[in-house]
Structure 1
Amino acid sequence: MEWIGIEPNQAMHEFLFEKANEYNINARLLECTSENISLPDNSVDYVISTEVLCSVVDLKQSLKEIFRVLMPNGKFLFLEHVIDKNNFGRRLVQKTVPFTPWKWYSDGCNPGRDIGSHINQIGFAKVEYSNYMQEGKGIINLINKPHIYGYAIK
């Protein structure tokens, strides 16, 4: 089995390779960004995104690239924290914190993104996701409580 990853946080590289080795997975990290994935069109079966789309520079371009590299009928699996559409106070904080030191402590996280709507606009043949509120304590969890998980098929 081969896993190809994009991870801009250098501090995570050793951990990723250790985990891949632990599960006998051949791992490779690409030196690129999600906005310009250095893979051919229609070349991967799955793309998995876990709480990273909040931190990409250009969300729309990243999703276009995910769509581009997926094979026909390929699947995009995602779990992401998203903007709170129901709680005005949390939504206000989510929209404000990217303009504070938050962005340096959180690898550029922008918690005020409506990621599900963006995924729906890319052109996938099918998109399904569910909303839930992440459990846990602390200020970061309080801000990033709303999540979605689901899949999109090319």
Structure 2
Amino acid sequence: RGHSNKLVYQYLPSRYGMNPDDLRKADAIEIVVGQGAKPGGGGMLLGQKISDRVAGMRNLPKGIDQRSACRHPDWTGPDDLEIKILELREITGWKVPIYVKVAGARPYYDVTLAVKAGADAIVLDGMQGGTAATQDVFIE
């Protein structure tokens, strides 16, 4: 937190490094539902990229491949987004705005769901963004 003027905390499906105390320090929370560089694909963080620093930040074992889920493990349907937003609001004392990040695959439907669920803002992510943890088919 000391290295930035504004901090948007990304709440990932993998939950790597998720810490409620860090959520409370954020200027906003961005629930990642999709990413333009890997829509619906999840990812793989290769063990060789898990340095001591990354292992410490994400609470992972060093050097072991880690699969990133493509969806949040505690969601079974669209209504669960509203439940998650309410949970995050309770954790942060209703003081931190909640964004929902979606890929540009089904923007009309995804934005409708995010608004209905109570998101403060919607982030529409395009394919121009990068990631080091996606399948070759998405890269090409």
- Name the TM-score, length of structure 2 as normaliser: 0.37
- Name the TM-score, length of structure 1 as normaliser: 0.34
Higher relative contact order, structure no. (Cα contacts within 8 Å, ≥ 6 residues apart): 2
Higher-strand-fraction structure: 1
Instruction: Compare CA radii of gyration and give the structure with the larger one.
Output: 1
